[in-house]
């Protein structure tokens, strides 16, 4: 069973070293010491971000690795990437990241992993690392004025809007794009919230939203009869390894 855990913030979440969201992701693999691959493409393989990853996903809890694509160290990309239990995508410029992935053929490799019926990989990340798994979303890839990105990987149907509680432009742009039909019905989360989906066979289902804090912001957002409807999602409030369920049962 493969999973997607899409989070609102990328680097800001990575810098929360003890955040139970990280443990939640690792536990989905069912392995004592999962192999975790960090893709920092969206920031041009920024060294500081990579160091932050290794500090948070340290060798005591997993086997961490990173894959730079601007100075690629491996020839057989498919064999290398398929050897990991978690694919963790950093935040940054979503559009540029997706373009680089396509040039390198990484988009096809990731899709094959996602669609493999025997796969138990967890695909995760925040901001750009959350948007990329959907069909589209809102992005700052093209400058300070937010725009719509309509060409994600499409592992998950619909759209994704991160930073819903942190950037003033996000909500109005998301609403406008849903009303115009530019984006399909989707999900919006605050910086610290995530949405979890799982694939079993050909079926992809929403599992729950998760949050390390009380009063989470996690919504399904859709346009109905020319109006925006925001519906609160069921949320697990994570406290160590004992989550508290809030809202409707997942």
The pLDDT tens digits of the residues spanning 179-231 come to 999 999 999 999 999 999 999 988 999 999 999 999 999 999 999 999 999 99
250 occurs within a structural domain: no
Judged against a pLDDT cut of 90, whether residue 249 lies above it is answered with no
- Is pLDDT of 21 > 50? yes
Tell me whether residue 246 is in a domain.
Answer: no
Of 3, 66, 88, 127, the catalytic one is 127
**Number of C-alpha atoms within 13 angstroms, CB side, residue 151?**
9
> pLDDT tens digits for 99-117?
999 999 999 999 999 999 9
- Which residue shows structure tokens 């609102």? 8
Q: In this structure, how many other beta carbons lie within 10 angstroms of the beta carbon of residue 179?
A: 13
What pLDDT is recorded for position 240? 62
Catalytic-residue membership of 3: no
DSSP string, 76-145: -HHHHHTT-SEEEE--S-HHHHHHHHHHHTHHHHHHHHHH-TT---EEEEETHHHHTTEEEEEE-TTSSS
Domain total of the chain: 1
Q: Which residues contact 146 (CB under 8 A, 6 or more apart)?
A: 138, 139, 140, 167, 169, 170, 173
180 is catalytic: no
What is the pLDDT averaged over residues 118-144?
96
Q: Provide the percentage of residues in the chain whose pLDDT is more than 70.
A: 96
Whether residue 195 lies inside any domain: the answer is: yes
Q: CATH number for the domain including 65?
A: 3.40.50.880
What does the pLDDT read at residue 121?
98
> Could you say which of 88, 163, 175, 196 is catalytic?
163
Whether 135 maps to a domain, the answer reads yes
Instruction: With a cut of 50, say whether residue 241 has pLDDT above it.
Output: no
Hunting for tokens 């984006």 — which residue is that? 183
Higher pLDDT, 246 or 130: 130
Q: How confident is the model at residue 242 (pLDDT cuts 50, 70, 90)?
A: very low
Could you tell me if 189 and 218 are in contact, meaning their C-beta atoms sit under 8 angstroms apart?
yes
- Does 244 reside within a domain? no
Average pLDDT of span 50-72: 97
Classify 207 as helix, strand or coil. strand
Range of the domain at 203: 2-237
Section 172-179 average pLDDT: 96
- Per-residue pLDDT at 239: 83
């Amino acid at each position: 069973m493969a999973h997607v855990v899409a989070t609102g913030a990328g680097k800001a979440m990575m810098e929360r070293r003890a955040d139970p969201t990280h443990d939640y992701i690792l536990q989905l693999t069912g392995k004592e010491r999962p192999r975790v691959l960090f893709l920092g493409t969206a920031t041009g393989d920024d060294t500081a971000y990579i160091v932050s990853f290794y500090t948070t996903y340290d060798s005591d809890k997993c086997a961490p690795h990173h894959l730079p694509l601007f100075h690629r160290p491996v020839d057989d990309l498919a064999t290398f990437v398929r050897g990991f239990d978690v694919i963790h995508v950093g935040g940054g410029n979503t559009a540029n990241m997706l373009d680089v992935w396509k040039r390198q053929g990484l988009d096809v490799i990731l899709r094959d992993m996602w669609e493999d019926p025997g796969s138990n990989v967890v695909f995760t990340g925040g901001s750009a690392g959350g948007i990329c798994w959907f069909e589209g979303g809102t992005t700052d890839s093209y400058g300070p004025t937010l725009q719509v990105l309509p060409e994600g990987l499409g592992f998950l149907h619909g759209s994704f809007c991160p930073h819903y509680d942190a950037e003033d432009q996000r909500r109005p742009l998301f609403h406008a794009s849903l009303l115009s039909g530019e984006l399909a019905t989707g999900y919006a989360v605050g910086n610290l919230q995530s949405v979890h989906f799982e694939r079993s066979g050909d079926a992809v289902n929403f599992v729950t939203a998760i949050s390390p804090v009380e009063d989470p912001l996690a919504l399904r957002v859709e346009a109905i009869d020319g109006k925006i409807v925001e519906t609160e999602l069921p949320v697990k409030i994570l406290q160590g390894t004992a989550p508290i369920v809030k809202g409707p049962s997942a």
